[in-house]
Every structure is written in structure tokens, then in C-alpha cells.
Amino acid sequence: MASSFTRPALVCNLRSGSSDEALVGRLTEICDAAGAPLVQATILPDDDLPSAATLKDNDTDLLLVLSGDGTLNAAASKLETWDGAMLPLPGGTLNLFHKTLHGERGPEEILRDALAGKARSVHPPTILCDAGRAYIGVIAGPTTAWAEVREQFRSLSLSGLAETIPDAIDATLHGDGVRIRGSDQMFQAINLTPKSDRILAEGLITDSAGSILRHGIAWLGGDFREGPSVDLSERRAVVIEGSGTIGLLLDGEPAELPPGRTYRLEASPLAFLATEPVTA
């Protein structure tokens, strides 16, 4: 089956974990061979992310995004009114959202299938709140301080690690906890994951030195969801409460909101191309 996409554009973040100029060149060649040459290439961090108006002016119908989850989220947030489709290509470290659309496949194989008409359009579940939209999930609570440790680890900054690890441990032990409205149980972090018909809420356990160590290892590995946790609820909307401003990570990117705000399930307004089943 032939692809209906003839005017693709590309966004590539060269600072992502597995993106480089050689891969960009191979993706460009795949587009040329399919009779759908790139109409625009945006290379981060030097260029700005394209807006919906820019893509419309160029008659772009498919946006290839070679990046990790954070850049993908930032690009998608600018395109919610665009009527084209986004094809995420794994170019980061974990590529969590990409795996929900394509499994473990590589960017070149994904692109070939998409341009050959072997992909389908989906509007995946997301979590929407006043701070933005998350495609992978939201972490709320003081243990989000571990995200800075992760960044220092990725940049191999020993001085940065020496400074941020004690702060993260202190936040985990002594930071103001958070809870889901309707429950009295407090946690140092709550993880919200969008499913097809519900939000899965989990409280991260930090009640011992061992659990704190396991969280630290999970954060340094990049996937905070691997830390110890307990299931809290499954519902379409969650209100998170606390005693002060709540630190957040939306798909790994930092934000904050006052307590008492709602986090609700909503299908993405932007269409994505998937080449494998989307997880439930």
C-alpha cells in the first residue's frame, strides 16, 4: 500500500542520546527513495521547533521527530492545532513513548514502513494538566529532585553529582509529601501513567535506605518507574494535594503546580503514526 504522505519534514535533536548527522543523512535518503523528499529540516539546538503555521505554510503533511521523549513532548505541544501527523523516531536514551508506538524497532525501519503505507494514525492517551500534556506520564512530589541528578550523571559532571545527590536524598527524606484527594496516605512522589481508559496512579515508596537507593538507581538509569511503588487507583481524573507548590516532571521535563490541581485523561489532539500496537 502506498503512503499518502508526500511532503515530510524533519526535526532532529543532536543532543539526544542516539541521534547524529549520519543517521539524519540515512533518513533523508529513505525519504528521497520513497519519492517524498524532505521539505524542511530543523536541527536542534540551533534551530527553533516548527510551529503549526510553519508546517502549514510548507504544506507539510508528516513531521518526523528524531529525538528523546522530552523533545518529542516539546514539539507536540506546539502542534496541537496542526492537521498533519507526527512520526516519532527513537533518537534519545530511553525512547519510552516511541516504544508504545513502534516497539523496539529502529528509526530507519520505522520510517520505511511509514512511507510504504504500513503505519496507522492514532491519538494516544495523555495526561493533561495546567502545566501541560504528558504522553508517558507525570511524576509529582519532592523526589522529582532526582531528575537533576540524572542530568548531571548524563553530562558526567562529578561536581554536579556531588551537589545534587545530597539535595535529592534530603528531598526524598524530608520534602513535603503528596497524596491523591480522597486518600490520607502521603508519598514523596506519585506517578501517573495514561492508559487507554484510565490513569494508573502509583505511590513511590521511600520508607527505608534501601528503597531510596533503589530510587536513585532507577533515576540514574533514566526510568523512574522502575523504583519501588504501590498501586493507588485507576480513574480518569486525579487531584493531587500537598502542603505547598508541587514539583512535577511531565515526560521527564520539570514543571510545578499548586496543590489541588486536576490531572485528567484525554486523547492527544495531535495524530501520531504507529507501526506496532499501542499499549493499553
> Do the first three CATH levels of 8-118 and 133-267 match, i.e. the same topology?
no
Residue with more model confidence, 174 or 105: 105
Average pLDDT on 120-125 reads 96
- pLDDT at 155 > cutoff 60: no
pLDDT > 90: percent of the chain: 57
More confident residue, 148 or 81: 81
As a whole number of angstroms, the distance between CA 213 and CA 149 comes to 13
Mean pLDDT on 203-217: 60
Q: Would you say 248 and 255 are in contact if contact means Cβ atoms under 8 Å apart?
A: yes
87-109 average pLDDT score: 92
| Residues 20, 24, 29, 31, CA torsion sign | positive
CATH code of the domain occupying 133-267: 2.60.200.40
The pLDDT, as a whole number, for residue 81 is 94
Band of pLDDT at residue 16, cut at 50, 70 and 90: confident
Determine what percent of the chain is predicted with pLDDT higher than 70: 77
Name the least confident of 90-99, 103-112, 163-172, 242-251. 163-172
> Which has the higher per-residue pLDDT, 61 or 206?
61
Question: Quick one: pLDDT at residue 213?
Answer: 55
CB atoms closer than 10 angstroms to residue 78: 17
Q: How confident is the model at residue 267 (pLDDT cuts 50, 70, 90)?
A: very high
The structural domains of the chain, with segments of one domain joined by +, span: 8-118, 133-267
The grid coordinates of residue 192 equal: 501517573
Query: Which among 109, 119, 108 is positioned nearest to 5, based on CA atoms?
Result: 119
Q: Over 90: is that where the pLDDT of 192 sits? A: yes
Question: What are the DSSP calls for 203-267, one per residue?
Answer: EEP-SSHHHHHHHHHHHHTT-GGGS-EEEEEEESEEEEEESSPEEEEETTEEEEE-TTEEEEEEE
pTM of model > 0.95: no
Tell me what pLDDT residue 112 has. 97
pLDDT category of residue 152 using cuts at 50, 70 and 90: very low
> Average pLDDT in the 121-144 region?
92
* CATH architecture type of domain 8-118: 3-Layer(aba) Sandwich (3.40)
Which residue did the predictor score with more confidence, 52 or 253?
Answer: 52
